Structure 1
């Protein structure tokens, strides 16, 4: 299926680790597109996910920001004119709080709150504690069909335990090459530091030597989903959030659940649902141990979501290019 007109779902990744995870959840992978727009430099993977033909693109290597995401989305729509729904799927930094027991490996999905989008843009200057920041709300509403599917999958997961972990295990069983980077890390690798504790340059393990620097958390109960799925506000900006004090301030003021660096660039070019697997806690103690698994669990959720949508309903949606131009 190399004809670009046969694709109705556009899926954008920021990182290679996310791109690989997305490819693994395709039921069938096709060849390269037979034609792309003359100025389109994107790398694409084409395939089928359930009933739907999906085109997946990744940002250029080393470019993880809003402008790059906008460029990739614009090129995708210029080459694949029939895309009806958009997904931004990958990893992000979680915002644990008293009301949201977010852990590494969980999933956060952008969801409208108070009549506004599930995503807003933030910006700030120096990356140090106690810095100031600004944020601007904007609308980036995915189509109603995606919001309806999201409501349906929430109900499904409340009635019975999801199978995301089993889906990942099945992939890793078939592809041993991915196990080391994409399997779920051990529970002791999930450490939440007190917000005032700054990362030691020698590595997060140095910080963990002193138990007084850690937030003590109980294990999840047997009747709780693990990984858990959260729905709400995602903050997006051009600078990586590594400040636990601002993280907690936004959690208290705005109920932010996740930080990432690309979705804000899609506001005017690619209305989409943003799905993030949590790989760190948006603080100074960042490492890459959880990135592979977080990318996998985000892709697994995205596939579950797509499989709830009948093919004819997507085909009945207005093209994203028409929505944007209108």
Structure 2
């Protein structure tokens, strides 16, 4: 039987004060003889233990809240009763300090909810953050203590010697742009200020026995007006024993706090913050915190999205913050989020201040995927050279495509300046495969085109045996409002096959002119087709086989299902969104958008699964973003889907004389292919069809 967890409440007296301990315990650890009451109903899972004469000692708390409350006793003529409270918190696991602090402050806010707490007035509310440092001169970051908007801090520390405080400009970097204060160095005989951790001493002072390993000692540090001061006691500005005026060449904004203790001693630190309970814990404050939290979730996602677009290129911290509109006052919080994403293996700081989105290294029962960040690519034997290349643009497209590759290794050849490259090498069936991703430049469409052309040229130059190129990813479908056999829905796949003999497989519209004296338009286009139609012939053959079979077993359905296990640890959700989110709209002649029903599906169409349509794929903002023009242009040219424009890729393939290529688009919306909710699944559907195509290739 599973050993369930319960919350055990136990009351006791300690030093003349009432104590209540709430602790999560496994059922097997609980002495049933001590259980006084087992709660039920909404309080199920809580056990109330008998009052104890004494509670066993535990480790020091990781967080503490103290406040003075005046409780109003309505039964005794509204007399006030002074009540001093201390809430102590312990945490399991290795959660970030900011997460721990948010947890216990949110707990306090719920506890003080007027609907379930006696009418009271709260004073002198203090939040304490505890940090424990080993005797190893290893800095512990303290992001929960916000210092970017302060000019001083007060704290307590218990240590035998060598209490180090680092005040830095860059989160996690204590070597550059850092002031290091060391209290009680040289056997607890003096204190110093250094520039940089372990750097040159700027000033020092004799401070015999300034620290204690048995008792907490109060200190304060100020950096106001480009002057660092350190003093004893809880009263800021009193008892200074270290002073140093910072020269102009060493001045910077302080955004980060870190602490450590040297090899002679471990340490315990406490940082206190005095809060206004009404201001910081009222209903409006809760709304502000929720709004602030949602805002930061959006900013975190924006940073991740920017790194995904840039991948395999890196982004400098200042450039990333500028792109994501991170204010100077928010840099500390943003750096905390970057550090958190790095711990989750979503991103990596490849070099100081250079961040890169990284793919997950995975190991399953049937395959292993290793990701290596390298300066140079390994030399391949002629027999290991790939003959099929896969090109993607979005990060989720690359991840989905790689999920189809067996026995794979990803190499990221990085540069801090210039363009990096990513190649995943492996096989699908009997074919050796290489997949890559285009970097999307946020600031310039022209730069994105140049980067795409360079990526393809390097790909074909590095792997000169590549014969087929498959461009895989998401696009926007062209619906048919009356014919279910021609209708394209979300999650379907469109494959670039000409709509007429010797016709184009891809079209880019770069200019539109209204016809004189009529309602029509002239479209200026650039078209591409293949001199080697091997891939298109296989796509047509696959469709014919599926349509002939009365109960076809479509291979891509199995590949989608198999890949979900591989992709379940990814940040993106590759499961198919609910069918109800696939809503269809029609824009009438007056420009009014109306929601309409999907046409009745044809007999070969499977609603709720990925179906394949063959046809031309097109691009061009002038037509794809205008509902009436995109429909008209599609009807004229047999277009089944639009994408974000891979004309630069096709021009590079043409220039490198690659004669066999095909575009596969999973449908994520009906407008621009940018609907985030459907993009991961649409990428997966396109990748699964790609694998089916390769297996069917002779």
Give TM class, smaller chain: 0.7 to 0.9
Q: Indicate the residue corresponding to 1:117 in structure 2.
A: 504
Question: What TM-score comes out, normalization by structure 2 length?
Answer: 0.38
Deviations 1:221-261 (A, max 9, x none): 67523322111111123679322111111122222111112
Structure with higher Rg: it is: 2
Deviations 1:82-110 (A, max 9, x none): 10111101000111124521100001111
Q: Are 1:308 and 2:696 an aligned pair?
A: yes
Q: Indicate the residue corresponding to 1:171 in structure 2.
A: 563
Q: Is the 8 A contact 1:4 1:33 kept in 2?
A: no
Q: Indicate the residue corresponding to 1:318 in structure 2.
A: none
Distance 2:666 2:531 in 1: 19
Q: Indicate the residue corresponding to 1:274 in structure 2.
A: 663
Deviations 1:183-206 (A, max 9, x none): 10000110111225999xxxxxxx
Helix, strand or coil for the counterpart of 1:28? strand
Q: 1:67 to 1:259 in 2, by over 3 A?
A: farther
Q: Are 1:8 and 2:390 an aligned pair?
A: no
Q: Is the 8 A contact 2:615 2:639 kept in 1?
A: yes
- In the alignment of these two chains, the number of paired residues is 290
Q: Indicate the residue corresponding to 1:102 in structure 2.
A: 488
Distance 2:641 2:434 in 1: 26
Q: Which moved more, 1:73-82 or 1:22-31?
A: 22-31
Q: Are 1:51 and 2:440 an aligned pair?
A: no
Q: 1:179 to 1:102 in 2, by over 3 A?
A: farther
Q: 1:227 to 1:165 in 2, by over 3 A?
A: same
Q: Are 1:217 and 2:217 an aligned pair?
A: no
Distance 2:553 2:478 in 1: 23
Q: 1:295 to 1:31 in 2, by over 3 A?
A: closer
Q: 1:239 to 1:161 in 2, by over 3 A?
A: farther
**What is the CA distance between 1:286 and its match in structure 2?**
5.4
Q: Which has the higher contact order (CA 8 A, sep 6+)?
A: 1
Distance 2:381 2:527 in 1: 31
Q: Which moved more, 1:295-304 or 1:238-247?
A: 238-247
Distance 1:182 1:163 in 2: 18
Helix, strand or coil for the counterpart of 1:305? helix
Q: Is the 8 A contact 1:234 1:259 kept in 2?
A: yes
Q: Is the 8 A contact 1:110 1:118 kept in 2?
A: yes
Q: Indicate the residue corresponding to 1:264 in structure 2.
A: 647
Distance 1:179 1:105 in 2: 19
Deviations 1:253-286 (A, max 9, x none): 2221111123322333224100000011026x95
Q: Indicate the residue corresponding to 1:86 in structure 2.
A: 469
Give structure 1 stretches of 5+ with no counterpart. 200-206, 311-326
**What is the CA distance between 1:8 and its match in structure 2?**
0.6
**What is the CA distance between 1:288 and its match in structure 2?**
1.0
**What is the CA distance between 1:139 and its match in structure 2?**
2.8
Q: Is the 8 A contact 2:477 2:669 kept in 1?
A: yes
Question: What TM-score comes out, normalization by structure 1 length?
Answer: 0.78
Q: Please give the residue correspondences for 1:221-240 in structure 2 after superposition, counting only pairs within 5 Å.
A: 223-225=604-606, 226-237=609-620
Distance 2:497 2:596 in 1: 28
Helix, strand or coil for the counterpart of 1:138? strand
Deviations 1:52-76 (A, max 9, x none): 1111110114468654432221111
2:684 to 296, 320, 324: 296
